[in-house]
Every structure is written in structure tokens, then in C-alpha cells.
Amino acid sequence: MPEHVKKLILAPMEGVIDQLMRKTLSSINHYDLCITEFLRVVENLEPKHMFYRIAPELQKTATTANDTPIRLQLLGQNPTCLADNAARAIELGSHGIDLNFGCPAKTVNKNKGGAVLLDDPDLIYKILLEVKNTIGKNEQLSAKIRLGFNDTERFKDVAAAVNNAGANMLTIHARTKKHGYKPPAYWSHISSLPNYDMDIVANGEIWSTEDAQQCIKQSHSKILMLGRGALAMPNLANVIKHNEQPYSLAQLKAVLLRYSNNEESESKYYYSSRLKQWLKYLKLQYPQANQLFTEIKTLSCKNQIMKQIKKM
């Protein structure tokens, strides 16, 4: 492992990185942690099946391949409600709790959830404190933020609020909500934070080892979170951590076939739509994935799709 990378975390991506994707990617990479898609909580304690829907791994060991622990992410704005649901997630076996303060969705922001809270560090503090007090100080608590909502003015206040509330880890997607997903990511803002006891995780626009090195250099953080890049190059974590070569086309084909053969891929609609979605990321690194996408665009039958994968 290049000595500068300490840990790699697989990012939460709603509607994209689900149980099957976590299983697939963690079986070919050494991730240190996976964060799940978010469970939105408004005012109720959600029933257990809602937690299992987001994180089926909770029904077993709350780990995925290579013993990678999974951590449930919650999205909400009500401290007591978040704390109650966090306690339930921990009781079900989640390896800590992650709170989402970065979601840019209009409906979520309108209801005072997600990135809009970045303008309200006091509320972020109250939420984290109540969650931490409820789950107990031995449980891991993390928060995921952007640099701000419209600008970065409150970035340091938000980070301080997260730290003062006793969180163990803070992930920073190095862009404001206003920046959306437009490159670049402004990693250097992360280095402006004081030295905290909690882990600082840098995130955004890491597609290669060079990006990872630049990110570490500019952010001064040795823990990185990978999102879209991890989908575009399936073994990106090991490329960064262990100097592995990016997967060849033959290796990619084997991964796609294994993905297709999973029992979770039995549902016809789910399998074909999720695979097509993945190909949109894969084509960023493998032009052949674009061709495959064109060939299977109108197909939903798994056997027919697998035939095309084999031909790729």
C-alpha cells in the first residue's frame, strides 16, 4: 500500500451502491468500511424491515465480502427521531451510524434535511449530540457533509460542531451544494481544519491513483472515500491501496458475469436496470462498456444480457 493511504471507504450512493454492489466491490477490493444508502427519517421510529431494506447485511453479520463492516446512513433533521432510529440501527448490528448532511435533493432540503443544514451548525451539533448520547460513546458516529450550501463560509463552524458533539469521523465531499457535481473538487479546503481527534475523510472526484495522491496532498487527509470512481473502475480501491493494475477487459467481464449470477440478480427488472446504470459509470473507463450498453439497452432477459457480456 502506498504509505500515504490509510483507509478507503466505499461511498453511500442512493439507488446505485446497494447490497449487491457493496458485495461485488468489496469482494474484489479491501475497503475498510461501506456506508449504506440513506434511510430517511422524519418523525417516526421506522420498523425493522425498513432498515433491512436499506441494509440487508444487518440480517447476517452486518459485514460484506472480505469482512468489510457496513454502517447505516440516516437522513433527517429531528434530533430525537434521528437518535431513536440510530439506536435501532445499532441494536440491529450496524457498525456505527452515519448522518447525511450533504444531500442536495430539493424535496429533502425543503423539509430542512440534507445539505440545507450546513447553514445551521447549531442544529447539526444538537443532532449529533443527541444521537451520540443515545447510542453511547463506544459506538462510532460519523457525519457526511459538503463544504457548504451556497458558499464555504460556515464550513469550519460545521466541522467544529461535528467535533464538539463527539463524532468519531467526518467525511467531506469537497464541494458546496451549489457546485453540485461539477469538477473540480476543492480538496484544499479540508486542510484548513484544525487537528481534531475525529478522523477526517476526503471525498470527491477520485478516479485514479494520481487523483488520490493529489487529494491526500491537498487535503492532508489519509482517509479517502470513493464513489463514482469506484464504479467506473471496479478495482480502484486496490489500485490505490495495493498498486494493482486497473482491471483488464477480461477481468471486467468476469466481474460483470459474477454480478449477473448473484441470487440478488434474480429479479429481472432490478438486474437489467441496475446493470445498465453501472455501465454508464463503467464507460468512463472502458469504451467497450458503452457498446455493451447500446447492445443491451432494450433487453431485460438475463440470459440474453449475459450472452452480450460474454461477447464484449
Ligand X SMILES: Cc1cc2nc3c(=O)[nH]c(=O)nc-3n(C[C@H](O)[C@H](O)[C@H](O)COP(=O)(O)O)c2cc1C
Q: Count of residues binding ligand X (CB under 6 A)?
A: 20
We find the least distance from the C-beta atom of residue 13 to ligand X, in angstroms, to be: 4
How many Å is the Cα radius of gyration of the chain? 19
Residue 71 found at the interface with ligand X (CB under 6 A): no
Which of residues 31, 38, 271, 293 is near ligand X by CB under 6 A?
38
Residue 113 found at the interface with ligand X (CB under 6 A): no
Residue 173 found at the interface with ligand X (CB under 6 A): yes
- Are 185 and 174 in contact by the 8 Å Cβ rule? The answer is yes
Nearer to ligand X, 237 or 253 (CB): 237
Residue 78 found at the interface with ligand X (CB under 6 A): no
Residue 16 found at the interface with ligand X (CB under 6 A): yes
Q: At what angle do helices 302-311 and 287-296 cross, to 10 degrees?
A: 150
Residue 12 found at the interface with ligand X (CB under 6 A): yes
By CB under 6 A, the residues from 202 to 261 that bind ligand X are 203-206, 226-229
> Segment near ligand X (CB under 6 A), from 12-20, 50-58, 208-216, 291-299?
12-20
> Segment near ligand X (CB under 6 A), from 8-16, 82-90, 115-123, 208-216?
8-16
Residues 6+ away with beta carbon under 8 Å from 8: 29, 30, 31, 32, 223, 224, 225, 226, 237, 240, 241
Nearer to ligand X, 78 or 100 (CB): 100
We find the least distance from the C-beta atom of residue 228 to ligand X, in angstroms, to be: 4
Whether residue 34 lies in the annotated active site: no
Which of residues 18, 37, 57, 130 is near ligand X by CB under 6 A?
37
Pattern 116-145, binding to ligand X, x per CB under 6 A? Answer: ----------------------------x-
Residue 102 found at the interface with ligand X (CB under 6 A): yes
| Set 81, 103, 215, 301: catalytic member | 103
> Mind telling me the catalytic residues?
103
In the complex, the residues that contact ligand X under the rule CB under 6 A are 11-14, 16, 37-38, 73, 100, 102, 144, 173, 203-206, 226-229
